[in-house]
Amino acid sequence: MLLYAKSPILHSKNEFERNYIMSIYLDNAATSYPKPDCVLEAMSYYFKDIGANSGRSAHKQAQEASRLVFEAREGIAKLIGAKDSSRIIFTSNATEGLNTAILGSLEKGNRVITTSMEHNSVMRPLRFLEKNRGIKVDVIKCSEKGILNLDDIKKKITKDTKLIVATTASNVVGTLLPIQNIARIAKEYNILFLVDAAQTIGSIPIDVEESQIDMLAFSGHKGLLGPQGTGCLYIKEDIKLTPLKFGGTGSKSEFETQPDFLPDKYESGTPNLIGITGLGASVKFILDKGVENIREKEKKLTEYLLQELQKIKKVIIYGTQDSQKQTAVVSINIKDMESSDVGDILDRDYEIGVRCGLHCAPIAHQTIGTFPSGTVRISLGYFNTEADIDYLLRAIRKIIQ
């Protein structure tokens, strides 16, 4: 893999030497690495051999670009159980999808219910609307382990509640939220339900039809193993949002007003074609492997990591400490050490990449009691192995010594 050739600066010679820049990558909750070869090949094919815009011109290269986009959309629809792939909107990341859904659905006087495990990609647009559009945000406080009590949601519902927004899993401690049960409550009270699946897409199965999810936003570059600059928003039929952007779509060009059909209504401007092509390939890779199998593999690795961390005295582990109830994200601290110092040593002395601090989710850290210092977040991915975990554990033991 030529693209991942060793860097003379970042790569020191040691027994763990590998063929990519960071020896042990444990930051998959931020973005996944490495990507399957088929992703690189697809992107290279688009860039070298196609290069044209999609949905606009009629020449052969443009037709091929449109086909690549269509196939990627179909793959995503299959992955999330959406019957109609035109309800999948390509975005630049999960944040854009969440913003489209939140800013596009709420009006003055509306109330929205969310949880205390959310990422700032949910909290910031909500706080913006609270300040500038007169909406009210009701936050349900989860337990110290990140567990949500469903009764607390029911208690907060009022006649003005228009939307419930919840993450499928915390990006800080990995705790899974009871999405299907929340969806049932939302249905019962006729409230829109927006799900942030950034942390579980590609590694935990989801079916938007079966779970009656109204809107589902997610990244393409995390569990889906696609390139950065990709994400999606699924919007159920009959849900009308005000678009975030207006402009050229290649359709209905005779009108100066935005087309009202999907996906064009929410996809103005030239799309990220190289990214979408890569995402199409990564989704195919995931469908071939099977999301259940990916989940099983990550669950086993998480179980092993948790079990071994529990044996190290000075390590504090946050969250459920139960691989059935969480993703492959494990947050820890070492007693009497700053999380940022631990991260620096892991990087500098052991070439292990983790993320420290608040992980763009200050409210989640307030919930688990680690605000403002944060935690050391170890996030495993599909390509990690038990050997990676063993090496990390040895490094942690050495740091403690």
Ligand X SMILES: Cc1ncc(COP(=O)(O)O)c(C=O)c1O
Cis, bond preceding 36 (omega within 30 deg of 0)? no
Residue (170 or 277) nearer to ligand X, CB: 170
* 315-317 and 329-334 beta bridge pairing: antiparallel
> Of 100-108, 156-164, 191-199, 340-348, which part binds ligand X (CB under 6 A)?
191-199
Which stretch in 91-99, 149-157, 335-343, 389-397 sits in contact with ligand X by CB under 6 A?
91-99
Q: What are phi and psi of 140, to 5 degrees?
A: -90, 125
Least distance to ligand X from the beta carbon of 170, Å?
Answer: 7
Query: Using CB under 6 A, which residues numbered 208 to 267 contact ligand X?
Result: 219, 231
| For ligand X, the closer CB: 231 or 357 | 231
Stretch that binds ligand X, among 131-139, 193-201, 270-278, 332-340 (CB under 6 A): 193-201
* Binder among 62, 166, 186, 198 for ligand X (CB under 6 A): 198
Residues 165-184 that bind ligand X (CB under 6 A): 167, 171
DSSP 8-state symbol, 319? S
The count of residues interacting with ligand X (CB under 6 A) is 13
Binding letters toward ligand X, positions 146-165, x by CB under 6 A: --------------------
Residue 401 class from Cβ within 10 Å (0-12 exposed, 13-18 middle, 19+ buried)? exposed
Pick 221 or 297: Cβ nearer ligand X = 221
Question: Does residue number 365 form part of the binding site for ligand X (CB under 6 A)?
Answer: no
Q: Does 358 bind ligand X (CB under 6 A)?
A: no
- 259 DSSP assignment: P
**Closest to ligand X by CB, 220 or 280:** 220
**Measured distance CA(374)–CA(357) in Å, rounded:** 4
For residue 173, the minimal CB distance to ligand X (Å) is 11
What does DSSP say about strands 88-91 and 329-334: parallel, antiparallel, or unpaired? unpaired
**How many angstroms separate the CA atoms of 335 and 354, rounded?**
18
Instruction: Report if residue 95 touches ligand X, rule: CB under 6 A.
Output: yes
What residue type is 338 in one-letter code?
A: E
Q: Taking the chain, what is the end-to-end CA distance rounded to the nearest angstrom?
A: 37
Q: Does 196 bind ligand X (CB under 6 A)?
A: yes
What is the pattern of x (binds ligand X, CB under 6 A) and - over residues 118-147? -x-x--------------------------
Q: Which residue has the tokens 């009202």?
A: 260
The answer to whether 39 touches 225, Cβ cutoff 8 Å, is: yes
Assign residue 304 a region: left if phi > 0, alpha if psi is -120 to 50, beta otherwise? alpha
Q: Which is nearer to ligand X, 93 or 320 (CB)?
A: 93
**Which among 310, 243, 280 is positioned nearest to 68, based on CA atoms?**
280
What minimum distance in Å lies between the beta carbon of 387 and ligand X?
26
Q: Which helix (H) or strand (E) holds 361?
A: none
45-54 core/surface letters (b: 16 or more CB in 10 A; e: else): bbeeebebeb
Near ligand X by CB under 6 A: residue from 116, 199, 282, 339 = 199
The piece of 93-101, 152-160, 233-241, 383-391 that touches ligand X (CB under 6 A) is: 93-101
The footprint of ligand X (CB under 6 A) covers 30, 93-95, 119, 121, 167, 171, 196, 198-199, 219, 231
